[in-house]
Chains A and B, each alone.
Chain A
Amino acid sequence: MHRIVEKQVLTPVTKLLVVDAPLVARRCEPGQFVIVRVAEAGERIPLTIADFQRSAGTVTLVFQEVGYTTQVLGTKEEGDFILDVVGPLGVPAELLAEGRVACIGGGVGVAPVYPKAKALYQSGVEVVSIIGARSHDLLIMEDMMQAVSHQLHVCTDDGSSGYHGFVTAKLQQLLEAGEKFDEVIAVGPLLMMRAAAEVTRSRGIKTLVSLNSIMVDGTGMCGACRVTVGGKTQFCCVDGPMFDGHQVDFAEAVRRSLMYQEEEKTALLQCGCRGGSE
């Protein structure tokens, strides 16, 4: 059982929980994730470790309420418990030790970008961050990203704050203006990561994306999370979740992510919850 020591409501549908998990906090690195099970009849869902505090033995989880399990998790308050938190899982991100990196986060994808931007910033890499959301009230972690970036660009789809347009359009604008990056890290919805990879492909800038496949165990024993990268099948939970965005078969990843669409709706309806946020 893992106690929730802090809760922040980032937007009406995005919550931040600081969770007591000393064994996870002891070893985790940027890029890794945990599998969470909220209650006894619950399912196992993967959540990125957005931040960690080794001395306090806690990890920070940020999630958007997109379905039944995340909504249940969203109702948990400080002092409540999460049944299972297992990790750290996945391969830590291989981060550059010097140079200039663009860190791009779309929607709740800002959360997984944050620990990478923070580690890069602390090791002396120049960090240019581009974060975005559909509208200003859905934007998360702006202050946190500001603190670990040399430059921060905020984008909204509806123009309610910052740049009016997608984060990938902002990236393209910066590149066209002659800005140089040694690497791009892009995390967000699959379509956004694909668009980011397309922007950098012709310019030959290495682009890392973090894939959010369907997972069950998260330890490599089932292959539910398999993705095709460079023509080869990889398990996102043990070979990833970070991959070379130019090598990922995004069409397949999108198709596989929709596999349980109907069941996800059933789960919401049967349990009498309010509808999803989308």
Chain B
Amino acid sequence: MPTQPAAERVRNFQEVALGFDAGLAQQEAVRCIQCKKPVCIQGCPVNVKIPEFIQLIADGDFSGAARLIKETNNLPAICGRVCPQEEQCEKYCVLGKRFEPVAIGRLERFAADWELKEGVTPPARPERKPGKVAVVGAGPAGLTCAGDLARRGYEVTMFEALHAPGGVLIYGIPEFRLPKAIVQAEVEYVLSLGVQLVTNVIVGRTLTVEDLFQDGYDAVFLGTGAGLPKFMNIPGENLNGVYSANEWLTRTNLMKAYQFPSWDTPIKVGQRVAVVGGGNVAMDAVRCALRLGAAEATIVYRRSRQEMPARAEEVDHAEHEQVQFKFLCNPTRVLGNERGWVEGLECICMELGEPDASGRRRPVEVKGSEFVLDVDTVVMALGTSPNPIVAQTTPGLSAHRWGGLVVDGTGLTSKAGVWAGGDAVTGSATVILAMGAGKTAAEAMVKYLEEKYRTWNGGGGHRPTP
């Protein structure tokens, strides 16, 4: 797929991967051998009808392909860009055994972008069904759950804590990987299905889950994500110039600090930036650092390259952009100058020992190997855990010790009428897994609402109570 040249793109926030044109898309689509029993679909958490939409692209019916994808996936332009397809649909592609798998993600993106450009026609509104649902959090899980319920005819209101919907799609993933205009267009599509959006409402503070039931909602979906940043608890972490990746990315993406002072939110970027961590968030943070004007940006990761959880494609992009990598290296202390600003990061070298519970080899410190990295900004990208506000303020809602909400196979929580899904349940994972969880919960919620209103005669009788 064509990309912006590395030397050029590190100076802007525009999208790196430019996408297929119609010719390239059709050329790729005809590679699909249209398996009788398509195994690619089993790798897709929202079960997109992959061979069928690819056939439509091969036939030149691009809008038809987009409409078909949208039967099961409300956010295809987003998924086509940020899904780790190599671990999902494309992993199962039969062609992948001997050749390159079909570029399913890129084709999905192509069809979705085509439709966005041509103008999206929302599907006809279905017959209105009795039942009112509150979806908490307008990230990938909430958007999927809300979209699926609205499409089935239910009245859905989505509550979002920030001033803009999208969750991690809007505050976390940078513009150069996922343009915000695309997010906005796909969110608008979900709203066009009949979903109401209320921003600036923090469930647990502005309203409680109990309030929602009292306000007449029959069921609640909690898609509140995992927004609580982890720190290392090492000395110097509160020095000026130390950021959590969440703060760094929120300032940059949601608040557009890269356009300061035309946008009002500032960000402080040093000449040399260290980003601690090896996941996709670390890659996003380090690549933002270069675009924000840092002369040098370094990933500090305690294991080796093979163990990095980031997508291979993102690591390659970062490397081409001249990001430095310090593997087997763990911070022990942030050093500050007399004014309290970061002036170095003391690290210790690591070696790999026995595999741990995650199956990855456990990093062990090499005694006496401390050294100092000369940096003036440090970003901690160590992962996040679920925000505790909802669990703390909802009686009867059980959470694990690490913060994840306890659910059954359908996403039902320990509280009647309340479902949950996405990072709020699993801890930080992927966009598409959150969407899959939103879809599963929506299915279960439909059954619940149908059951609840089975004896209700559509307005004449008493509305059942929760």
Whether A associates with B in a native complex is yes
Residues of A within 8 A of B (CB): 23-24, 27, 37, 41-44, 68-69, 83-89, 216-217, 219-224, 226-228, 233, 238, 252, 255-256, 258-260, 263-264, 266-267, 270-271
What is the CB-to-nearest-CB distance from A254 to chain B, in angstroms, rounded to a whole number?
9
Given A41-B264, A219-B161, A266-B260, 12 extra CB contacts under 8 A: A41-B259, A84-B199, A88-B206, A216-B265, A221-B227, A221-B384, A221-B387, A238-B389, A256-B240, A263-B261, A267-B260, A267-B264
Top 4 A-B pairs, shortest CB-CB distance:
A263-B266, A221-B227, A222-B247, A43-B264
A223-B233 contact in complex given A256-B238, A263-B268, C-beta closer than 8 Å? no
Closest to A263 in B: B266
A219-B387 contact in complex given A84-B163, A86-B200, C-beta closer than 8 Å? yes
- In the assembly, what is the distance between CA of A27 and CA of B263, in Å? 32
Q: Give the interface SS of chain B, mostly helix, strand, loop or mixed.
A: loop
A263-B250 contact in complex given A223-B229, A233-B237, C-beta closer than 8 Å? no
| Chain A contacts for B238, CB-based, 8 A | 226-228, 233, 252, 256
Q: Please encode chain B, from 214 to 231, with 1 for each CB lying within 8 Å of some chain A CB and 0 for all others.
A: 000000000000011101
Closest to A238 in B: B389
Identify which of B201, B266, B339, B387 contacts A264 (C-beta below 8 A): B266
Closest to A84 in B: B163
| Chain B contacts for A223, CB-based, 8 A | 229, 231, 244, 246-247
Is there an interface contact between B268 and A43, defined as CB atoms closer than 8 Å? no
- In the assembly, what is the distance between CA of A227 and CA of B240, in Å? 12
Closest to B208 in A: A27
A255-B200 contact in complex given A87-B206, A88-B205, C-beta closer than 8 Å? no
What is the CB-to-nearest-CB distance from B152 to chain A, in angstroms, rounded to a whole number?
28
| Chain B contacts for A255, CB-based, 8 A | 240, 339-340
| Chain B contacts for A224, CB-based, 8 A | 243-244, 247
Q: Please encode chain B, from 255 to 280, with 1 for each CB lying within 8 Å of some chain A CB and 0 for all others.
A: 11001111111101000000000000
| Chain A contacts for B241, CB-based, 8 A | 259
Q: Is B83 an interface residue (CB 8 A)?
A: no
Across chains A and B, the number of contacting residue pairs, with CB separation under 8 Å, is 116
Is there an interface contact between A217 and B250, defined as CB atoms closer than 8 Å? yes
Identify which of A89, A256, A271 contacts B202 (C-beta below 8 A): A89
Closest to B233 in A: A233
| Chain A contacts for B247, CB-based, 8 A | 216, 222-224
| Chain B contacts for A220, CB-based, 8 A | 227-228, 387-389
- In the assembly, what is the distance between CA of A233 and CA of B265, in Å? 24
Is there an interface contact between B163 and A263, defined as CB atoms closer than 8 Å? no
Q: Is B251 an interface residue (CB 8 A)?
A: yes
Q: Is B162 an interface residue (CB 8 A)?
A: yes
Closest to B201 in A: A23
Is there an interface contact between B250 and A221, defined as CB atoms closer than 8 Å? yes
- In the assembly, what is the distance between CA of A264 and CA of B259, in Å? 14
- In the assembly, what is the distance between CA of A182 and CA of B430, in Å? 52
Is there an interface contact between B207 and A23, defined as CB atoms closer than 8 Å? yes
Question: Which of B194-216 touch A at CB < 8 Å?
Answer: 199-202, 205-207
Q: Which of A86, A238, A256 has the most chain B CB atoms inside 10 A of its CB? A: A86
A43-B200 contact in complex given A84-B163, A87-B206, A221-B229, C-beta closer than 8 Å? no
| Chain A contacts for B227, CB-based, 8 A | 219-221
> How many chain B residues touch A (Cβ–Cβ < 8 Å)?
42
| Chain B contacts for A258, CB-based, 8 A | 240
Closest to B266 in A: A263
13 A/B residue pairs, CB under 8 Å, sorted by A? A24-B206, A68-B264, A86-B201, A219-B161, A219-B227, A220-B388, A221-B227, A221-B384, A222-B247, A252-B340, A258-B240, A263-B266, A267-B266
Identify which of B231, B244, B262, B268 contacts A260 (C-beta below 8 A): B268
| Chain B contacts for A23, CB-based, 8 A | 201, 206-207
What is the CB-to-nearest-CB distance from B284 to chain A, in angstroms, rounded to a whole number?
15
What is the CB-to-nearest-CB distance from A268 to chain B, in angstroms, rounded to a whole number?
9
Is there an interface contact between B200 and A217, defined as CB atoms closer than 8 Å? no
- In the assembly, what is the distance between CA of A85 and CA of B161, in Å? 11
| Chain A contacts for B259, CB-based, 8 A | 41
A267-B261 contact in complex given A252-B238, A255-B240, C-beta closer than 8 Å? yes
- In the assembly, what is the distance between CA of A264 and CA of B266, in Å? 8
| Chain A contacts for B266, CB-based, 8 A | 43, 260, 263-264, 266-267
Closest to B384 in A: A221
| Chain A contacts for B265, CB-based, 8 A | 43-44, 216
- In the assembly, what is the distance between CA of A27 and CA of B202, in Å? 12
Is there an interface contact between B263 and A41, defined as CB atoms closer than 8 Å? yes
- In the assembly, what is the distance between CA of A194 and CA of B57, in Å? 68
Closest to B340 in A: A255
| Chain B contacts for A259, CB-based, 8 A | 240-241, 268
Is there an interface contact between B163 and A27, defined as CB atoms closer than 8 Å? no
Q: Please encode chain B, from 160 to 176, with 1 for each CB lying within 8 Å of some chain A CB and 0 for all others.
A: 01110000000000000
| Chain A contacts for B340, CB-based, 8 A | 252, 255
Is there an interface contact between B246 and A221, defined as CB atoms closer than 8 Å? yes
- In the assembly, what is the distance between CA of A162 and CA of B202, in Å? 43
A263-B260 contact in complex given A219-B227, A221-B246, C-beta closer than 8 Å? yes
- In the assembly, what is the distance between CA of A15 and CA of B266, in Å? 25
Closest to A268 in B: B261
- In the assembly, what is the distance between CA of A266 and CA of B205, in Å? 35
Closest to A228 in B: B238
What is the CB-to-nearest-CB distance from A41 to chain B, in angstroms, rounded to a whole number?
5
Identify which of A24, A83, A222, A264 contacts B229 (C-beta below 8 A): A222
- In the assembly, what is the distance between CA of A256 and CA of B336, in Å? 13
What is the CB-to-nearest-CB distance from B247 to chain A, in angstroms, rounded to a whole number?
4
What is the CB-to-nearest-CB distance from B144 to chain A, in angstroms, rounded to a whole number?
21
- In the assembly, what is the distance between CA of A68 and CA of B265, in Å? 11
What is the CB-to-nearest-CB distance from A218 to chain B, in angstroms, rounded to a whole number?
9
What is the CB-to-nearest-CB distance from B288 to chain A, in angstroms, rounded to a whole number?
15
Question: Which of B9-66 touch A at CB < 8 Å?
Answer: none
Closest to A255 in B: B340
Is there an interface contact between B251 and A27, defined as CB atoms closer than 8 Å? no
A219-B250 contact in complex given A86-B163, A266-B261, C-beta closer than 8 Å? no
- In the assembly, what is the distance between CA of A23 and CA of B159, in Å? 12
Question: Which of B259-309 touch A at CB < 8 Å?
Answer: 259-266, 268
| Chain B contacts for A88, CB-based, 8 A | 205-206
| Chain A contacts for B162, CB-based, 8 A | 217
What is the CB-to-nearest-CB distance from B223 to chain A, in angstroms, rounded to a whole number?
15
| Chain A contacts for B388, CB-based, 8 A | 220
- In the assembly, what is the distance between CA of A238 and CA of B12, in Å? 35
| Chain B contacts for A87, CB-based, 8 A | 202, 205-206
- In the assembly, what is the distance between CA of A69 and CA of B163, in Å? 17
Closest to B228 in A: A220
| Chain B contacts for A263, CB-based, 8 A | 260-261, 266, 268
A44-B255 contact in complex given A88-B205, A224-B247, A264-B266, C-beta closer than 8 Å? yes
